[in-house]
Chain A
């Protein structure tokens, strides 16, 4: 094979040169021998032989050049020819490039998301060495039991009493920069002194935290990100030495990180880093630093001494028992102490950092990748159609060229060049589209309270991916048309009747197959889109058990006021009354937990006669609420009464339960007056009397099934730290209340910090991901349908045009237009049916993978499938009807004349 030799010679380079040299010297030697035989001396003979041979070097070069030059020449010729051919049919080129751009662009966008979230290493030197330290339950290294959270005592032991890993610790924080009034929050991180040194990060200005900054009693210093420094102080140097208020406590900025450094959590961007020891000055700080039950740190590190993974894990496992014993929480029940002592430390590779976003999005991203892959296939099928139609039109040209001596391989190569050019143009356009699209997706995923930040820069991997896809698609849709085009035997195609002779049924089989495939794939995407859309719609229209519009939520934190716990309690009680008096406020209430906030408080419940079906069955949600809370949220009180002034601190314990809990604990009996007990680590509560029953309301998420909740009066619960949530119902826009609330709180104490949101915003934020999935799948489903419709239209129009003469004859012989239309529509119907059946089968199999995203629907929901089939059929029939109708109206004489 010529190309094989060519390629080989391209590689052989020097060896080739030496071989040629030897061969030519041999030739000269033979000639010299012959001349010596004719009487010359050896010297003369050699000289004559060399003279006759000519310039050896030149011949060597011309031999080698012949290969590369010829090869390059033909390549350039192919490209020029292809460009000209594409320029001559601008409509075809535009449609093809656009379809490809959409398909390739979508794939590149999703892949660059996958790259940013899952594949990219952290931007630190030698990121591949990084491991995260985890705790396994028991000695078996079961990955499912790995816990990533540590207490500070555990971290200090690990820091000081093992030598396998050079470790650092970090904890997530959301720092309030404001000293009073409305909160201004930034993503922050508590870090150990070894954080920056082990990661190998370098400062942009000033210095980064070192081990010396992390001893008990340390001064309050902080490091900020480059973006933060520029936003707050103009330039990175401007941040040095400035004072920063974190949750009301002053910190001094000593350094700025480089712009590319964002921490170790992919998906978020840390703005402020503070040393762990400085947590002591924050509210409850010393307790947290010594707390053996407060799990707030995560650990990562680099193995020491070039230890391999096994060695590291073995050494950590050996050190675990003593570390566990030294940090055992003394106040735990014995039942929990034993597993604590048994747990082992181990490591997992962490070159890509630790990411909550990654865990949450992994399945969704892969599902999206599959969807856009299907879209690309459909787009390729479309372009293949176009190329096939074109190839048929160029039959005579191909035949002529073959008759003139072009080899079949050469023709195929030329046609493939065209396809590849289209693919490359499509991918260039697609790459631009991808850049924009992935930014949009990330933006849609972010909510005001959780900003998602990803480094979406085009890197080497994404580039390789895009080019690879472009080449693959070029070959995919270009090969069949090229092969078919070059197959025509020259003589037959050159005959005048060539067209009729070569438009046999065989030609249509491929285009028909392509269309059926496109229809099938579109149906699969439509079903998926339908499922996600209907699931989202169900989630949005769930009755959450409260009325979400018109409610302003204010979270007040009195940490910086210096008040004692009792003072805080009375301040907030007073605050509630004052809030109720504000103009525009119809009702107000307070609670420890607000609905659909992602936070929760749960615990064990006991009642006489109640036997939990499992350990989980005995765990219910709790909330501490004020009087008027239910009225504010418009959660119906079904029986009994709301909390009131008689339910004081220290008084007889009372509680309100919802319908689910009433059913669970007491069955159909009237729960009013019955008692239950709650249990926590410290023991069992005194009997709590049920004084009211409310309707079920969603607690943490909209798609929670188990919502059994017990509400306790605020006066009888321990507060969560120094903060409390207030809910205010108004008839107008809740945001309008904000200035009045701010003024009110500021008047009571300027150091109270406030966080505002509305209940509808909070609920909507929890729906961000389902909304995104529904939107994207609808978009891609519609796109796929559009592409398939274009493909169907094109195929029918083409087949009609090929059969123009046959149709003309039929009409001339008396068939009326409607018969013609029916004949063509029959064909369209057959294609659609075949595609729909195939698609339905694939859909039933494939949508199982979506089950985890669906709410209230099974993956094989028949209504959805039926709807998808119906819309596909409708669109498809219309697409097929247009060319059919036009064919029937065509003047038969003109059709016959074309022959």
Chain B
């Protein structure tokens, strides 16, 4: 499960980033935040101050790997992609997320 952080959103951020990369393949940091914003239909906005530290941590943990590449606008950007370990982590986190929401839902519906 990785490090315990009190900030739930930090944990969710990893889940979101992993899922984004699973869908899109290789993206740079800015594109990841754009996608999350778009796919959530503006409900989620990534706190930019926490994005790069989180990406760095995920790289350290071996879930993503990063390489310098060129965008279609011919700029130098650092592109992230999933590793096999990252895919496994994504599956685990999706499962935990499902359990969490189910559990929270049950408590909330309890009359």
Contact = CB atoms under 8 A, between A and B. Distances in A.
A6 B56 CA distance: 10
Nearest to A64: B56
Interface string B68-111: 00000001111000000000000000000000000000000000
Contacts of B56: 20, 63, 66-67
B48 A23 contact: no
B41 to A, nearest CB: 17
A496 interface: no
Interface stretch (A48-56, A393-401, A599-607): A48-56
Interface in A30-88: 30-31, 52-55, 58-59, 62-63, 66-67, 70
Contacts of A5: 59-60, 62
Contacts of A70: 3
Contacts of B2: 405
B29 to A, nearest CB: 5
A9 interface: yes
A27 interface: yes
Contacts, number: 59
Contacts of B53: 59, 62-63, 66
Given A63-B53, A67-B60, A29 B78 contact: no
A409 to B, nearest CB: 12
Nearest to A67: B60
B78 A26 contact: yes
Q: Select the residue from A23, A54, A58 with max chain B CB neighbours within 10 A.
A: A23
Interface of B: 1-4, 28-31, 48-49, 52-53, 56-57, 59-62, 75-78
A2 B62 CA distance: 6
Main secondary structure of the interface of B (DSSP, over half): helix
Contacts of A53: 48-49
A58 B59 CA distance: 20
B30 A26 contact: yes
A24 interface: yes
A298 B29 CA distance: 76
Interface of A: 1-2, 5-6, 9, 19-20, 22-24, 26-27, 29-31, 52-55, 58-59, 62-63, 66-67, 70, 405
Contacts of B78: 19, 22-23, 26
Contact of A26 (B48, B61, B62, B77): B77
A439 B77 CA distance: 66
B93 to A, nearest CB: 13
A173 B26 CA distance: 83
19 contacts: A1-B62, A2-B62, A5-B60, A5-B62, A6-B60, A19-B78, A23-B28, A26-B75, A26-B77, A27-B29, A53-B48, A54-B48, A62-B53, A63-B52, A63-B53, A66-B56, A70-B3, A405-B1, A405-B4
Contacts of B31: 30
Contacts of B60: 2, 5-6, 9, 67
Contacts of B61: 2
Contacts of B59: 5
A30 B48 CA distance: 13
Contacts of B4: 405
Nearest to A65: B53
Nearest to A27: B30
A24 B30 CA distance: 9
